[in-house]
Amino acid sequence: MSDQIKISIQHLYKIFGDDPAAALERVKAGVGKAELLEQYGHVLGLQDINVDMVDGKITVIMGLSGSGKSTLIRHLNRLIEPTDGKVLVDGDDVISYDAEALRKMRRQRMSMVFQKFALLPHRTVAENAAMPLIVRGENKDSALQEASKWLDRVGLQGNDNQHPHQLSGGMQQRVGIARALTSNSDIMLMDEAFSALDPLIRTDMQDLLLELQKELHKTIVFITHDLDEALKLADHLVILKDGYIVQQGEPQEILLHPNDPYIVDFISDINRARVLRVRSVMDPTTEPLETTLAGDVDGDTNLEAVIAESEGDTSLTYRVVSDGEQIGVLDMKTLVRALVPTSAAEDGVRGKY
């Protein structure tokens, strides 16, 4: 799969208030969020956001409440109008769309899964899932047939004729995902989609999303405040604070090299062995080694699994493979060192407190 950019957010600002244009000039001149609110009565929602989202990958945007993550995702389909900046989808600036072009994009190119399910209570499960096609004016019978296919795929076989109130929360969210898939859109926007679910159901839904993504390769923008969820789902992770990006990149890289005290706080309680992958800490070499190897491990295996396999023996060395080919070597001593934040992170980040 290519690394073609599907969505490009460029210098995006959002300011809430009576005169956002004047406030924007103040922000660009250096006025911060607190000062803008206190002295000028405007709220800085987003500040100079720049993110490229790769086609067929999952971009996770995370942050605490008030960080701007939900405001950001609503700019992608222009549920919120920006104060300044661009949102490019396949190279087209969504901000320039007229009402008809915007309506067409929302119906055909983007689907959205909400935290609160947003199901119509008087419609059956199948009718809810078929709604994107029905709204487009497609034949109802064929729309229901397509919806039924996706309901089966998300584990809701036999529930077509039930109503939302007859389903559990987890089942209702599966209907929401089936509805997004029925639309056959390239882009799925998921705003805290699993946050209202019980922990075990939430884990099941994360696994379902990853399973579907392996086959469908949608461009997914996923909003969450949960770091464990972000690290599990993200190909590209964007961390927001007070409307600006603190750090973004591949999740493993952020975990190994946090660049801000805010990030350090986020990752301080993470089980690094469960999250870090072998490929992130291995010696990337394809040269054969003379040393005795304990066996092969896949590059995407987490460190916890390798520790269990090695029974904690730090003298062992493994060959790291991907699709049967060597991509590196993992020494268990290197693995153990990776479980502790590096001195560079400690000195360079914690020293800023």
pLDDT digits (tens, 9 = 90+) for 272-304: 898 899 999 999 988 887 778 999 999 999 999
**Gap between the Cα atoms of 73 and 107, Å rounded:** 16
Q: CATH number of the domain at 56-74+98-267, please? A: 3.40.50.300
Q: In this predicted structure, what is the pLDDT of residue 222?
A: 96
C-alpha span between 96 and 36 (Å, rounded): 28
Most confident of 226-235, 283-292, 344-353: 226-235
Q: What is the pTM of this model?
A: 0.87
Residue 37 is predicted with a pLDDT of: 96
Torsion angle, alpha carbons of 228, 230, 236, 239, to 10? -100
| Predicted local confidence at residue 2, as pLDDT | 56
CA distance 46 to 85: 11
Predicted confidence band of residue 344 (pLDDT cuts 50, 70, 90): very low
| C-alpha of 130 from chain center | 25
State pLDDT tens for residues 52-102.
999 999 999 999 888 999 999 999 999 999 999 999 999 999 999 999 999
Classified by CATH at the fold level, domain 275-338 comes out as CBS domain Like (3.90.1280)
Buried residues in 295-315 as b, exposed as e (16+ CB within 10 A) = eebbbebbbeebbeebeeeee
Does pLDDT of 146 surpass 60?
Answer: yes
Mean pLDDT of 95-115: 90
Report the alpha-carbon angle 237-342-314, nearest 5.
105
Residue 209 pLDDT > 60: yes
| Tens-digit pLDDT profile for residues 6-46 | 999 999 999 999 999 999 999 999 999 999 999 999 999 99
Among the residues of 217-331, which ranges form H helices? Answer: 227-233, 251-256, 261-267, 272-275, 278-281, 303-310
Taking CA atoms, 53 is separated from 9, 234, 235, 236, in Å, by: 8, 11, 10, 8
Instruction: Check residue 112 and give its pLDDT.
Output: 87
Residue ranges per structural domain of the chain: 56-74+98-267, 275-338
Write the DSSP symbol of residue 283: B
Where would I find the beta strands (DSSP E) of the chain? 5-16, 43-54, 58-62, 84-89, 92-93, 110-114, 187-191, 219-224, 236-241, 244-249, 296-298, 317-322, 325-331
Q: By percentage, how much of the chain surpasses pLDDT 90?
A: 67
pLDDT at 262: 87
The Cα–Cα gap between 318 and 321 comes to: 9
Would you state the pLDDT for residue 1? 46
Contact indicator for 178, 154 with CB cutoff of 8 Å: yes
pLDDT band at 193 (very low <50, low <70, confident <90, very high): confident
Look over the chain and give the mean of its residue pLDDT values, rounded to a whole number. 90
Q: Answer whether 43's CB lies under 8 Å from 69's CB.
A: no
Q: List Cβ neighbours of 251 (8 Å cut-off, separation of 6 or more).
A: 60, 230, 231, 234, 237, 275
